[in-house]
Amino acid sequence: MQKFTIKLDKRNLNKIFRGADKLVAIANTQKVELPKTGSEKYSMAVLNAINSVRWSYGGKYNKRYMDWKIENYKVHVPWKLAGDLVRALKSYKLSSSVGNIKYLGGIRRGIYDSGGKSWYNKPGKGEMYGKRKEIAFYGKEVEKTKPMFKPIFREFKPKWATMGKKVRNQQRRAWR
């Protein structure tokens, strides 16, 4: 059996403990703040895209539906459906089990629109007309022909990585 001795200077040991305490504090803060901030920034990126002309491309409206939309909602862009989607776009907490906190940016399931919309380019016809509908439903329907959520997510991914690097830099500085 071999024996060895380690001698530590009390000042260095205190410095290690302080650094470890800082890392624990950063980790505890960022396990909530990083997902929350990321989901808020993603939701804001989607909102900015909705309000820009940039995302008004995609599947074309037929003339009758475009006329109906302009007359009823005074908008020409695909994602402006009476503002219900825009109002529902948020960052929200998905779960909170021990050590597992998740936030999502987008539209939470179970949020309904104000009703009175034409779902399939048939104003006034069909069983869907006029009924309140889950906003996630029409987000999914519009996404098929006029994609926005997925392209914005692809654009947002590098920003998420940058946010993670900032946290790692914060942790490195804790040891100085």
For residue 40, the model assigns a pLDDT of 92
pTM of the model: 0.68
- Express each pLDDT in 60-87 by its tens digit: 556 776 676 677 666 665 555 547 778 8
List the one residue out of 163, 166, 63 whose CA is nearest residue 121.
63
The number of C-alpha atoms within 13 Å of 84 and in the hemisphere containing its C-beta is: 19
Residues above pLDDT 70, as percent of the chain: 72
Q: DSSP string of 135-164?
A: HHHHHHHHHHHS--HHHHHHHHHHHHHHHH
